[in-house]
A and B are shown apart, each in its own frame.
Chain A
Amino acid sequence: MPEVDPVVQQVVARHGGDPSHLLQILIEVQEVFGYLPAPSLTAVARELAVPRSRVEGVAGFYSFLYPAPIGRYRILFSDNITDQMLGSRALLEALCRKLWVEPGKPSEDGLVSIDTTSCTGLCDQGPAVLVNGRAITRLDYRRVNEIAELVRKAVPLDRWPAAFFQIEDNVRRRDALLGPTFQPGSALAAALKLGPAGWLEQMRLSGLRGRGGAGFTTHVKWKSCRDAAGPDKVVVCNADEGEPGTFKDRVLLASHAERVFEGMALAAYATGARTGLVYLRGEYRFLLEPLRALLDRMRGDGLLGRSILGEKGFDFDIDIHLGAGAYVCGEETALLESLEGKRGTPRIRPPFPVTRGYLGRPTVVNNVETLAKTTLISLGGGAAFAATGTAQSTGTKLLSISGDCALPGIYEYPFGVTIERVLEDCGAGDAQLVQVGGASGVTIAGYEFQRRIAFEDVPTAGAFMVFDSGRDPFDIARNFVHFFAHESCGFCTPCRVGTALLKGYMDKLALGRGAKVDLADIEWVDRLLRNASHCGLGSSAANPVVDTLIKFRPSYERRLKSLEFEPAFDLDAALADARRITGRDDPAAHLDGGRGR
């Protein structure tokens, strides 16, 4: 292993000794050592002149940072319900058996560790794993055998078969955004002709709303940022696509990144921002180099940098920050904290980012798809954009479709499309339930399939997971509850404790030890989560349970053992140790009709 101090000094120097780059520094230090040895944390703290506790706090927050030694090959199985439905759990067990390791524990020789991770955004080509941050798709037993062999022979990842790492776009339906070819620079040139005010007016006419889920009107956000006090404004692209079942941003960044980056420049032109930041989720690490290369090309073409397209005073450039496996960082204020190199704990709003965002500067945070859409508005005009979709949801929406359907992938539809129509197009003939909007979204039962994808009816950030009649709605909800318990940032008690309680109840039911009163308690915890949580993660964590309890209640009730209370554990078994120690087996040494009674 290389010496700690020179490595740390080099990495810190590369980031100009800026403590707001702490997360990026830790990610890069870890790339050298495979994990974050304690001396490296001390060295980072010393070099940045920040308390060691702060460094450790960050290192301990993110799933993809490892303060303790971990396998030289870190294999993480995506644990979304869609991966599980494709057999990921059995494949994980098979790989563990082949390599003689237990899930979550590095092998004794430090060669390999195998564990699960939250959805990696490859639901349309799962089951997926990340090996040292690189995504492998379409796992099957053959591939598992090959991986086991490669790991055993310690073959460097670069020499693994390229087919493993092949990631498809799987675009199945193209509309306004994915259809036409895009001439780089054309959208910016069109906006420059209008001037900043004229451009913002087109944005107003378009009625574009945020595609990240919340649906806030984009031009209002931009205008607030433009009008906010402070000279050094920021445009942030939220590419922390962590919602289970969503992967449209991956496809946009893989094949339409010119539009996304140009959208950021368009936002900068409207707001007067000079700094652009992309927050790319750690799971999409494989996109980093191609995106950096594209940024270089755009600089060369005069689309980024000083005096963009010759426009004096229009200076804007973009940097990319990596996330490290924290779903909560998709929440915009947690994302800003993370960009500043801190733990991803959501802030209290107001103040909103448009007035006090990244490092206290006025900041626009937009979703990848939102930014890509702005190029359409610039090219075709706001009114033309607003001509498709519905009254309050203009334009088109990308859906990430996965689960029980013949043709999973990306579908672009005008807003207002019915769920029925989507199911027909993706070849889902036997759907009994659709989870729209991911784990935090809405559970749609069969009798609602005529409902429409739009902010007025079923809003979504894009996830569309299909479940056929062979699936158990309880299992689906339980998977999401586990997800939220894992991803709760731990900052506020209602969410930290509430998600853990909910997980406990769902596990108890899964064991067949549930009682009627547990359902009442679940509903009580749901209300508590909704009303008392600090951010959207906690308040939406109960959604899948609330919805399935209403729409698929028998799936819960059939798991109940009794209408009375039952302990979650076997009381007679709990006496077993004492029976063994004392050698007793008389009736009083048993509970609940154990032997001897």
Chain B
Amino acid sequence: MDKPKLRVATTSLAGCFGCHMSLLDIDEHLFELVGRVAFDRSPLTDIKHCGPCDIGLIEGGVCNSENVHVLREFRRNCKTLVAVGACAITGGLPAQRNHLDLGACLQQVYRFRDDIEDAAVPDDPELPLLLDKVYPVHEVVRIDYFIPGCPPSGEAIWKFLGDLIAGRTPRLGHALLRFD
């Protein structure tokens, strides 16, 4: 009853927030969850930087320099880091650009479209630069666990977190393990 709550941080890198929506999809288990964990940096709390945490959940792949900084901040602070969903694990949909030349991509979007005035690729230092390719998170930092799915079902995320919180090696059975 009086066990200290585990601290959990979550973020979406090059993702669509679909995995976060799936997390919210655990419905009434949310009450159980907030009874057992406290959220640190997360879109749910709007905390901007991560402090020391037990569990970090990463949605999305790594497409720009900011993603690298955020991911490294998570790795530095989280004892257990989990890649959640197809984009984090493989690069996913955003990685479709990996087959294209980055220059051609940016030119197409920012210069060669009609109805654009003063067409130029934005160079504001506020904007994070794009990496040449979209990388899966485990190619940039050490990842401890993977939850596949696009998105993984709420049920899968709940089972996984339940195991993790209880100290069991997380194990998704056949029914919960899916790649679409």
Task: Name 20 extra pairs, CB < 8 A, besides A567-B140, A583-B123.
Answer: A565-B75, A567-B135, A569-B135, A571-B65, A571-B68, A573-B132, A574-B133, A575-B131, A577-B103, A578-B102, A578-B129, A578-B132, A581-B107, A584-B125, A586-B125, A588-B128, A589-B65, A589-B125, A589-B129, A591-B68
Q: Which of A556-597 contact B (CB under 8 A)?
A: 564-565, 567-569, 571, 573-584, 586, 588-591
Q: Which residues of A contact B129 (CB under 8 A)?
A: 575, 578-579, 582, 584, 588-589
Q: Which residues of B contact A582 (CB under 8 A)?
A: 121-123, 129
Instruction: Describe A's contact surface by its main secondary structure.
Output: helix
Q: B119 within 8 Å of A by Cβ?
A: no
Q: Which residue of B lies closest to A504 (CB)?
A: B139
Given A582-B122, A583-B123, A591-B65, A574 and B128 contact (CB-CB distance below 8 Å):
no
Q: Which residues of B contact A517 (CB under 8 A)?
A: 142
Q: Which residues of B contact A589 (CB under 8 A)?
A: 65, 125, 129
| Top-9 shortest CB links A-B | A582-B123, A565-B142, A578-B129, A574-B131, A574-B132, A577-B102, A575-B129, A586-B125, A578-B130
State in angstroms the CA–CA spacing of A220 and B115 once bound together: 81
Q: B106 within 8 Å of A by Cβ?
A: yes
Query: B59-83 CB contact bits vs A (8 Å, 1 = yes)?
Result: 0000001001000000100000000
Shortest CB-to-CB span from A46 to chain B, Å, is: 36
Shortest CB-to-CB span from A65 to chain B, Å, is: 28
Q: Which of B100-148 contact A (CB under 8 A)?
A: 102-103, 106-107, 121-123, 125, 128-133, 135, 139-142
* B139 and A581 contacting across the interface, CB-CB below 8 Å: no
Given A517-B142, A565-B141, A574-B131, A581 and B125 contact (CB-CB distance below 8 Å):
no
Query: B149-164 CB contact bits vs A (8 Å, 1 = yes)?
Result: 0000000000000000
Q: Which of B21-55 contact A (CB under 8 A)?
A: none
Interface residues of B (CB under 8 A from A): 65, 68, 75, 102-103, 106-107, 121-123, 125, 128-133, 135, 139-142
Shortest CB-to-CB span from A288 to chain B, Å, is: 44
Q: Which residues of A contact B142 (CB under 8 A)?
A: 517, 564-565
* B131 and A571 contacting across the interface, CB-CB below 8 Å: yes
Can you list 20 A-B contacts with CB-CB less than 8 angstroms, sorted by A residue number? A517-B142, A565-B75, A571-B140, A573-B132, A574-B131, A574-B132, A575-B129, A577-B103, A577-B130, A577-B132, A578-B102, A579-B129, A581-B106, A582-B122, A583-B123, A586-B125, A588-B65, A589-B65, A591-B65, A591-B68
State in angstroms the CA–CA spacing of A579 and B130 once bound together: 9
> Interface centre among A565, A574, A586, by most B CB within 10 Å?
A574
Q: Which residues of B contact A591 (CB under 8 A)?
A: 65, 68
Q: Which residues of A contact B65 (CB under 8 A)?
A: 571, 575, 588-591
Instruction: Describe B's contact surface by its main secondary structure.
Output: mixed
* A581 and B102 contacting across the interface, CB-CB below 8 Å: yes
Shortest CB-to-CB span from B77 to chain A, Å, is: 14
Shortest CB-to-CB span from A510 to chain B, Å, is: 17
Q: Which residues of A contact B135 (CB under 8 A)?
A: 567, 569
Interface residues of A (CB under 8 A from B): 517, 564-565, 567-569, 571, 573-584, 586, 588-591
Q: Which residue of A lies closest to B122 (CB)?
A: A582
State in angstroms the CA–CA spacing of A580 and B107 once bound together: 12
> Interface centre among A573, A577, A578, A583, by most B CB within 10 Å?
A578
> Interface centre among A569, A573, A582, by most B CB within 10 Å?
A582
Q: Which residue of B lies closest to A588 (CB)?
A: B125
Q: Which residues of B contact A571 (CB under 8 A)?
A: 65, 68, 131, 140
Q: Which residues of B contact A580 (CB under 8 A)?
A: 103
Q: Which residues of B contact A590 (CB under 8 A)?
A: 65
State in angstroms the CA–CA spacing of A580 and B130 once bound together: 11
Shortest CB-to-CB span from B166 to chain A, Å, is: 24
Q: Which residue of B lies closest to A518 (CB)?
A: B142
Shortest CB-to-CB span from B49 to chain A, Å, is: 17
Shortest CB-to-CB span from B137 to chain A, Å, is: 10
> Interface centre among B65, B68, B140, by most A CB within 10 Å?
B65
Q: Which residues of B contact A588 (CB under 8 A)?
A: 65, 125, 128-129
Q: Which residues of A contact B131 (CB under 8 A)?
A: 571, 574-575, 578
Shortest CB-to-CB span from A577 to chain B, Å, is: 5
Q: Which residue of A lies closest to B107 (CB)?
A: A581
Given A517-B142, A565-B141, A568-B139, A581 and B68 contact (CB-CB distance below 8 Å):
no
Q: Which residues of A contact B133 (CB under 8 A)?
A: 574
Shortest CB-to-CB span from A383 to chain B, Å, is: 56
Shortest CB-to-CB span from B89 to chain A, Å, is: 13
Q: Which residues of A contact B68 (CB under 8 A)?
A: 571, 591
Q: Which residue of A lies closest to B65 (CB)?
A: A591
State in angstroms the CA–CA spacing of A567 and B75 once bound together: 13
Q: Which residue of A lies closest to B101 (CB)?
A: A577
Q: Which residues of A contact B125 (CB under 8 A)?
A: 584, 586, 588-589
State in angstroms the CA–CA spacing of A590 and B69 once bound together: 11
State in angstroms the CA–CA spacing of A579 and B131 once bound together: 10
Q: Which residues of A contact B103 (CB under 8 A)?
A: 577, 580-581
State in angstroms the CA–CA spacing of A582 and B139 once bound together: 26
Q: Which residues of B contact A578 (CB under 8 A)?
A: 102, 106, 129-132
Shortest CB-to-CB span from A575 to chain B, Å, is: 5
Q: Which residue of B lies closest to A517 (CB)?
A: B142
State in angstroms the CA–CA spacing of A579 and B64 once bound together: 12
Shortest CB-to-CB span from B13 to chain A, Å, is: 14
Shortest CB-to-CB span from A517 to chain B, Å, is: 6
Q: Which residue of A lies closest to B126 (CB)?
A: A588
Shortest CB-to-CB span from A579 to chain B, Å, is: 7
State in angstroms the CA–CA spacing of A582 and B102 once bound together: 12
Q: Which residues of A contact B140 (CB under 8 A)?
A: 567, 571
Q: Which residues of A contact B139 (CB under 8 A)?
A: 567-569
State in angstroms the CA–CA spacing of A583 and B141 once bound together: 29
State in angstroms the CA–CA spacing of A591 and B68 once bound together: 9
Q: Which residues of A contact B141 (CB under 8 A)?
A: 565
Q: Which residue of A lies closest to B140 (CB)?
A: A567
Q: Which residue of A lies closest to B139 (CB)?
A: A567
State in angstroms the CA–CA spacing of A565 and B74 once bound together: 14
State in angstroms the CA–CA spacing of A568 and B135 once bound together: 11
State in angstroms the CA–CA spacing of A449 and B80 once bound together: 45
State in angstroms the CA–CA spacing of A550 and B140 once bound together: 28
State in angstroms the CA–CA spacing of A584 and B75 once bound together: 28
Q: Which residue of B lies closest to A565 (CB)?
A: B142
Q: Which residues of A contact B121 (CB under 8 A)?
A: 581-582
State in angstroms the CA–CA spacing of A588 and B102 once bound together: 19
Q: Which residue of B lies closest to A515 (CB)?
A: B142
Q: Which residues of B contact A579 (CB under 8 A)?
A: 129
Q: Which residue of A lies closest to B129 (CB)?
A: A578
State in angstroms the CA–CA spacing of A576 and B133 once bound together: 12
Shortest CB-to-CB span from A165 to chain B, Å, is: 45
Q: Which residues of B contact A586 (CB under 8 A)?
A: 125
* A584 and B123 contacting across the interface, CB-CB below 8 Å: yes
Q: Which residues of A contact B130 (CB under 8 A)?
A: 575, 577-578
Q: Which residues of A contact B102 (CB under 8 A)?
A: 577-578, 581
Shortest CB-to-CB span from B14 to chain A, Å, is: 14
